[in-house]
Structure 1
């Protein structure tokens, strides 16, 4: 049986949602030798409209490119939360930007992790790299791809001259995840 992993990344146009999906898929396909697909959709507005990226990663050929039952949802806007998160299955891990998403309708037993991705990106000097902070966090908490593959994918995917900033953003999210994971497994 193929090891199929599905990730849905959602937010609004201008947050780099599609780029995040592209970087994740490229990390898996180019730098880890797996199969990957990316399906993107966005509203007619280039900024502010709904936007999502569905990434499927597998050890075998992908027969259906859409994320029909994502194991992880990364949500970076309240609208995306209302549109996608309410429909997720109980086993799905929800990762939210805690400053932009209020999971007030959270059901008991659902897996939820929060990170102030936009705030951390602003501390780095550009909130536009919140998507890379999220990718670092996603990598750190799920291990869906290796950090090395993500770093190389970021380095070769972002606009020339922004590599260092985007890599710092990735490291910020990855370190945040490592602290969170360490806190969850350390004895009380």
Structure 2
């Protein structure tokens, strides 16, 4: 791997900025890579556009922005419509099950998963959709272990929510493994 670009996109309030920070910290804990994390969100605190980007490289990162993601997470249709065109032709798309992903090139590895529904219905907290997403992402990457990313998750989540977030992360890992079969 020379340079790996990840974009997490959706709406404000979905915890994607935190997810980007956790992902970057997990890669750092794994060791052997330089990592840059950037973020942007609309003026609305909740519901506006939101994205976090992570660039990973074994060498110096001269440009910190994602231009053509190798992996794109989209939790809203609006984010999908805006960013899917940037995804590399052989990239990975992780999209919530509600997103219409028609007409993608066959070279893109697509995971349409019930991320938001699982957070809401199985865990009773929409707020952990970002941690479920990190579990799915971890299952797609071979340069970060689930142990290191889970360690980063537990270092960042609010005290008293460790068990819930561990369960969310592990659900995401399982979701991705089942989808890959």
TM-score (norm 1): 0.89
> Which residue number in structure 2 is paired with residue 115 of structure 1?
113
Q: Assess if the C-alpha contact under 8 Å between 2:5 and 2:66 holds in 1.
A: yes
Q: Assess if the C-alpha contact under 8 Å between 1:32 and 1:149 holds in 2.
A: no
Pairwise mapping of residues 1-188 of structure 1 onto structure 2 (< 5 A)? 3-99=2-98, 101-122=99-120, 123-181=122-180, 183=181
TM-score (norm 2): 0.93
Cα distance between partner residues in 1 of 2:70 and 2:166: 25
Q: Assess if the C-alpha contact under 8 Å between 1:75 and 1:95 holds in 2.
A: yes
Q: 1:32 to 1:70 in 2, by over 3 A?
A: same
Unaligned regions of 5+ residues in structure 1, if any? Answer: 184-188
Instruction: Please give the per-residue CA displacement for 1:87-106, whole angstroms capped at 9, x wherever unaligned.
Output: 3231221110113x111343
Cα distance between partner residues in 2 of 1:90 and 1:31: 27
Q: Assess if the C-alpha contact under 8 Å between 2:5 and 2:55 holds in 1.
A: yes
Cα distance between partner residues in 2 of 1:55 and 1:144: 14
Q: 1:159 to 1:33 in 2, by over 3 A?
A: farther
Unaligned regions of 5+ residues in structure 2, if any? Answer: none
> Which residue number in structure 2 is paired with residue 186 of structure 1?
none
Q: Assess if the C-alpha contact under 8 Å between 1:31 and 1:152 holds in 2.
A: no
Count of residue correspondences: 180
Secondary structure at the counterpart of residue 56 of structure 2: strand
Q: CA RMSD in A?
A: 1.5
Q: 1:83 to 1:144 in 2, by over 3 A?
A: farther
Q: Assess if the C-alpha contact under 8 Å between 2:6 and 2:53 holds in 1.
A: yes
